[in-house]
Structure 1
Amino acid sequence: MKNTVIIQASSKSKGNTHKVINYLNNNQGFDVIDLKTKNIGFFEYDFSNAHDDFIPLMEEIISKYETIVFATPVYWYSMSATLKIFFDRLSDLLHYKKELGRQLRGKNMAMISNSGENDLRNGFEMPFRESAKYLGMNYLGDVHTWFTKDGNEIHPDAKVKINEFRNIFAAKNFKDVLTL
């Protein structure tokens, strides 16, 4: 059974984020979930979205996977709105689905982002790193990728970074990776 899932969080299912995921997942070692195919509403304090796809999706993720990799384009210097909604909904796991949320403890999180150029601003990874810490998850790391000038291909230098990032998941002992 595959123990890593990539959560694709782009407004375009077959866009650049998908290209990056396909390159990262060249050996098909990871499952991929496209959030665009899910009906996940905004966080509501009254939990009025409790019957959308979020809780069943989290039950599946928590039961099947030890590592979650978030894949997002950079939109206006931040994660995609699709992923921000998903992150906001993690609050459901801190309120009315606490037992489910507690099962995230000890699992692993990583992030891969992409944009047209190698222009990621400092601090982009902070919401991922801090969310992992808050949820009791191990943050394995992150990588930013970009595309060639024509926008059609992953930049060769970014491919090197993806290959290095892929090595994190090949490690037998994530504790060794965490000290990098």
Structure 2
Amino acid sequence: MKKGIIILGSSNSDGETRKIVSYVSKKTYYPIIDLKTKNISEFDYEFKNIEDDFHPLIKEIVNNYEIIVFATPVYWYSMSGIMKTFFDRISDCLKIQKETGRKLRGMEMAIISCGSDKKLKNGFHMPFIETAKYLGMNYISDVHCWIESETIPISVKNELNTFIISIQ
């Protein structure tokens, strides 16, 4: 069984994406890190934000886990802003935290998206797939979910169960 972590990047810590990742976490025992609870500044070419929460968080991830499951709502056909900021900050690992960046090589990446539409527009996964390639990570799986009447529909649970098998 792989040791994994779920990175939740939503503007609503208790929203629909949280419901989905809580379901996955209960079945995988992967802990959830809510980016909304962290102080992570946008990428800065002068690295003036080095004292925020990004560096301790990314070090914890690369030193303790084999797989990262990124979970994001779909906002305007793309990942959430908070998730994009996290991805932008991975650039720190290529410039000033190179040892940490090297540890991303060989790790696995999976994606959970959650939105009001039952299908994603083409291209949604491209930033994740290309980031994984660039960093030498293995992009292993993705699943798109939605909530109906405050609950996870059976069809979505079935897709999630298949996804869970792929990340363990």
Question: 1:31 deviation in Å?
Answer: 1.1
Question: 1:86 deviation in Å?
Answer: 0.2
Question: 1:37 deviation in Å?
Answer: 0.5
Cα distance in 1 between the residues matched to 2:86 and 2:114 = 18
SS in structure 1 of the partner of residue 104 of structure 2: coil
**Equivalent residue for 1:154?**
152
Question: 1:146 deviation in Å?
Answer: 1.1
Structure 1's 145 and 34: CA in aligned 2 closer, same or farther, altered over 3 A? same
Q: How many residues align?
A: 168
Moved over 3 A (4+): none
**Equivalent residue for 1:40?**
40
- Does the aligned pair in 2 maintain the 1:24–1:166 contact within 8 Å? yes
Question: 1:117 deviation in Å?
Answer: 2.7
**Equivalent residue for 2:116?**
116
Equivalent pairs: percent with the same residue?
A: 52
Cα RMSD for the two superposed structures:
1.4
Q: More displaced, 72-81 or 113-122?
A: 113-122
**Equivalent residue for 1:176?**
none
For structure 1, the 5+ residue unaligned runs are 171-180
SS in structure 2 of the partner of residue 27 of structure 1: helix
Equivalent residues in 2 for 1:6-155, closer than 5 Å: 6-27=6-27, 29-148=29-148, 150=149, 152-155=150-153
**Superposed CA offset, 1:117-174 (max 9, x none):** 30310111111111001000011111101122x3x1122221111111001123xxxx
Letter in 2 for 1:116: S
Q: More displaced, 22-31 or 80-89?
A: 22-31
- Does the aligned pair in 1 maintain the 2:2–2:67 contact within 8 Å? no
Tell which has more relative contact order, 1 or 2 (C-alpha 8 A, sep 6+): 2
Cα distance in 1 between the residues matched to 2:2 and 2:53 = 22
Letter in 1 for 2:165: N
Cα distance in 2 between the residues matched to 1:169 and 1:94 = 26
**Superposed CA offset, 1:23-42 (max 9, x none):** 11223521111101000000
Cα distance in 2 between the residues matched to 1:169 and 1:3 = 9
Question: 1:2 deviation in Å?
Answer: 7.1
Question: 1:105 deviation in Å?
Answer: 0.5
Letter in 2 for 1:164: T
Cα distance in 2 between the residues matched to 1:127 and 1:61 = 20
Structure 1's 28 and 142: CA in aligned 2 closer, same or farther, altered over 3 A? closer
- Does the aligned pair in 2 maintain the 1:2–1:29 contact within 8 Å? no
Cα distance in 1 between the residues matched to 2:2 and 2:163 = 18
The alignment's TM-score, normalised by the length of structure 2, stands at 0.96
Letter in 2 for 1:84: K
- Does the aligned pair in 2 maintain the 1:10–1:82 contact within 8 Å? yes
